[in-house]
């Protein structure tokens, strides 16, 4: 199956469509495979095309706009675990938080949260302050970050804040 911007995708053993690694400008140009869920049976496949197109057009400023939310997540984990861990990183502020995040070993997932819902692009990363759950960054319609926090597989929060405790 062909998806604009991603090329030819193949189906994996779980039913996801998977691309070859694609350069992702918003993540500094690293190459990651895209896993696209629910596309084949979706009556509005153009929504997926638009989300992928928007996501691949983003640059690093999209991440910078979410730095406060990611820093809130870091501070919360510091309140919970910081005193217990000798190697818990010390991050001065939001401008430095992305220095402690690694996207390179994961994938980009494109899916809907339900019928008629927007298409979300979700990226999982490793972060220096939460080794077990890492970091999840979710882009609504591929265009803007609407959720950051520990990877939980959910695409939305119950509130409008980026990081919800």
- Looking at the predicted structure, is the pLDDT value of residue 82 above 70? no
- For residues 73 and 71, give the distance between their C-alpha atoms in angstroms, rounded to a whole number: 5
Q: Are 84 and 126 in contact (CB under 8 A)?
A: no
**pLDDT mean over 112-129:** 92
Instruction: Answer whether residue 27 is part of any domain.
Output: yes
* Tokens standing for residue 77: 């984990």
**pLDDT mean over 24-34:** 97
Give the pLDDT confidence of 31-50 residue by residue, as tens digits: 999 999 999 999 999 999 99
Confidence of residue 104 (pLDDT cuts 50, 70, 90): confident
* Tokens standing for residue 143: 């265009």
Helix residue spans in 58-127 (DSSP H) = 61-65, 67-81
Q: Which domain holds residue 101?
A: 2-149
Residues 6+ away with beta carbon under 8 Å from 24: 30, 31, 32, 55, 56, 103, 108
- For residues 109 and 18, give the distance between their C-alpha atoms in angstroms, rounded to a whole number: 9
Instruction: Answer whether residue 93 is part of any domain.
Output: yes
* Chain centroid, CA 140 distance in Å: 10
pLDDT mean across residues, the chain: 92
Instruction: Answer whether residue 62 is part of any domain.
Output: yes
Give the pLDDT confidence of 131-159 residue by residue, as tens digits: 888 999 999 999 999 999 999 989 998 77
* Tokens standing for residue 118: 């927007």
Instruction: Answer whether residue 47 is part of any domain.
Output: yes
Q: Are 125 and 101 in contact (CB under 8 A)?
A: yes
Instruction: Answer whether residue 163 is part of any domain.
Output: no
Instruction: Answer whether residue 159 is part of any domain.
Output: no
- For residues 43 and 50, give the distance between their C-alpha atoms in angstroms, rounded to a whole number: 14
Instruction: Answer whether residue 157 is part of any domain.
Output: no
Count up the domains in the chain and report the number: 1
Instruction: Answer whether residue 164 is part of any domain.
Output: no
Q: Whole-model pTM?
A: 0.93
């Amino acid at each position: 199956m062909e998806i604009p911007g991603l090329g030819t995708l193949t189906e994996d053993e779980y039913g996801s469509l998977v691309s070859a690694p694609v350069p992702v400008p918003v993540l500094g140009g690293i190459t990651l495979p895209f896993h696209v869920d629910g596309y084949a049976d979706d009556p509005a496949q153009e929504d997926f095309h638009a989300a992928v197109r928007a996501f691949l057009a983003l640059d690093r400023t999209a991440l910078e706009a979410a730095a406060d939310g990611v820093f809130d997540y870091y501070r919360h984990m510091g309140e919970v675990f910081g005193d217990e861990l000798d190697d818990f990183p010390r991050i001065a502020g939001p401008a430095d938080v992305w220095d402690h995040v690694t996207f390179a070993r994961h994938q980009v997932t494109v899916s809907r949260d339900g019928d008629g819902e927007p298409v979300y692009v979700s990226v999982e990363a490793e972060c220096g302050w939460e080794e077990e759950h890492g970091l999840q960054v979710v882009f609504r319609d591929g265009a803007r970050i609407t959720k950051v926090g520990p990877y939980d597989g959910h695409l939305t929060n119950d509130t409008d804040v980026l990081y919800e405790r």
